[in-house]
């Protein structure tokens, strides 16, 4: 009975995905207008078309989630490729236990399929969750790199402003001498502002919203306030850089303390085992 329920649920899920793929939901008006402002996406061929075919039904279901979308944006990964990989891992985890038991049954083991099916469901869900966690961990490492790069830029920009440079020139000069992935993304945002002739804080804020780096959004707010109300931008950037440096220092100290605690766990385990070996002969002699 349980086997039939699981099989029926799988068939129902497959039919639901098929219907959503054949009759996708209409996009919101704001999203449709936004797509008109962007250049058309490149035509997919071969492997990319297959990944889009696998990932599009899941996107209609609201996947990946908003947090995962930001993680993929900062990792510069294609959502279709990510969803296709997640589906592959989930299907592999789902089918591995029943397939193994089926092979054993062919060899004459006579094992019931009920428990392997439930184990497969648990492994499939676990594979889906583990994929999100691994992506989030990699994205956090990149966000940390972005914060370090931003802190370094905020250390260089105020002296340039004191020397008479404008805010856009100071940011462009500081980002041009920096290297790495984070500096490249900041340079691209600054180039977008210069080419599109829009205020510099707009692409900076969009970059922060896409990647989930709150400090970029705060910097955009500081730049907007300076442009709108005439605040002293040099002092504001100095304060922003000091606050970011203090936060990075606190994060590094917390990480160091956490690493110290993790290192103490194996030491405590080894000490406990050593004491057990010392006490065990005495306990055996007393009980005997």
Residue 157 contacts by C-beta under 8 Å, 6 or more apart in sequence? 167, 170, 171, 174, 237
Query: Which residue did the predictor score with more confidence, 244 or 37?
Result: 244
What digits encode the pLDDT tens for the residues 9-63?
556 655 665 555 555 556 556 555 555 555 555 555 555 666 666 666 666 666 7
Q: Is the pTM of this model over 0.75?
A: no
Percent of the chain's residues with pLDDT above 90: 0
Residues 6 or more apart in contact with residue 210 via CB below 8 angstroms: 70, 73, 74
With the CA atoms of 48, 54, 59 and 65 taken in that order, what torsion angle do they form, in degrees rounded to the nearest 10?
Answer: -90
Cα dist from 161 to 109, 165, 218, 245, 247, whole Å = 78, 5, 19, 20, 24
Q: Which residue has the higher pLDDT, 150 or 19?
A: 150
Are the beta carbons of 104 and 39 closer than 8 angstroms? no
Q: CA dist 50 to 46, 56, 210, Å?
A: 7, 10, 26
The per-residue pLDDT for range 161-207, each reduced to its tens digit, is 777 777 777 787 777 787 888 888 888 888 888 888 888 888 888 88
- Per-residue model confidence (pLDDT) at position 230: 46
For residue 47, the model assigns a pLDDT of 58
Q: Where are the beta strands (DSSP E) in 205-268?
A: none
DSSP assignment of 25-57: PPPPHHHHHHHHHSPPPPPP-THHHHHHHHHHH
Q: Which segment of 23-37, 84-98, 133-147, 202-216 scores lowest on mean pLDDT?
A: 23-37
- The pLDDT of 151-162, averaged and rounded, is 79
Percent of the chain whose pLDDT exceeds 70: 75
Mean pLDDT is lowest, of 73-87, 211-225, 243-257, for 243-257
b or e along 41-78 (b: 16 or more beta carbons within 10 Å of the residue's beta carbon)?
eeeeeeeeeebbebbbbbeeeebbeeebebbbbbbeee
Identify the pLDDT of residue 255.
75
Pairwise CA distance, residues 150 & 215, whole Å: 8
Above 80 in pLDDT, residue 239? no
Q: How far apart are CA 91 and CA 130, in angstroms?
A: 14
Q: For 84-98, 175-189, 216-230, which range has the lowest pLDDT when averaged over its residues?
A: 216-230
N residues, the chain: 288
Distance CA(183)–CA(267), nearest Å, equals 41
* 280, two tokens: 């065990």
In this structure, what token pair is assigned to residue 199? Answer: 């205020």
Cβ proximity of 63 and 90 under 8 Å: no
């Amino acid at each position: 009975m349980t086997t039939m329920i699981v099989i029926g649920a799988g068939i129902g899920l497959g039919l639901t995905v098929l219907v959503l793929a054949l009759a996708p939901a209409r996009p919101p008006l704001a999203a449709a207008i936004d797509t008109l402002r962007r250049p058309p996406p490149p035509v997919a061929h071969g492997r990319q078309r297959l990944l889009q075919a696998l990932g599009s039904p899941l996107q209609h279901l609201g996947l990946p989630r908003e947090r995962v979308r930001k993680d993929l944006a900062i990792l510069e990964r294609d959502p279709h490729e990510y969803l296709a990989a997640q589906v592959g891992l989930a299907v592999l985890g789902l089918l591995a236990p029943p397939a193994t038991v089926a092979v054993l049954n062919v060899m004459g083991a006579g094992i019931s399929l009920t428990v392997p099916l439930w184990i497969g469901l648990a492994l499939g869900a676990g594979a889906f969750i583990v994929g999100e966690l691994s992506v989030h961990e990699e994205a956090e490492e990149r966000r940390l790199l972005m914060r370090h790069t931003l802190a370094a830029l905020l250390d260089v920009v105020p002296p340039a402003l004191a020397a008479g440079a404008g805010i856009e020139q100071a940011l462009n000069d500081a980002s041009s001498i920096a290297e790495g992935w984070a500096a490249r993304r900041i340079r691209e945002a600054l180039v977008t502002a210069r080419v599109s002739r829009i205020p510099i804080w707009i692409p900076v804020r969009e970059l922060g919203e896409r990647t989930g780096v709150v400090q970029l959004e705060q910097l955009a707010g500081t730049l907007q306030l300076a442009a709108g109300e005439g605040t002293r931008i040099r002092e504001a950037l100095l304060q922003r850089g000091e606050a970011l440096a203090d936060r990075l220092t606190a994060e590094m100290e917390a990480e160091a303390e956490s690493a110290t605690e993790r290192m103490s766990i194996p030491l405590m385990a080894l000490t406990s085992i050593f004491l057990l070996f010392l006490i065990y002969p005495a306990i055996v002699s007393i009980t005997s």
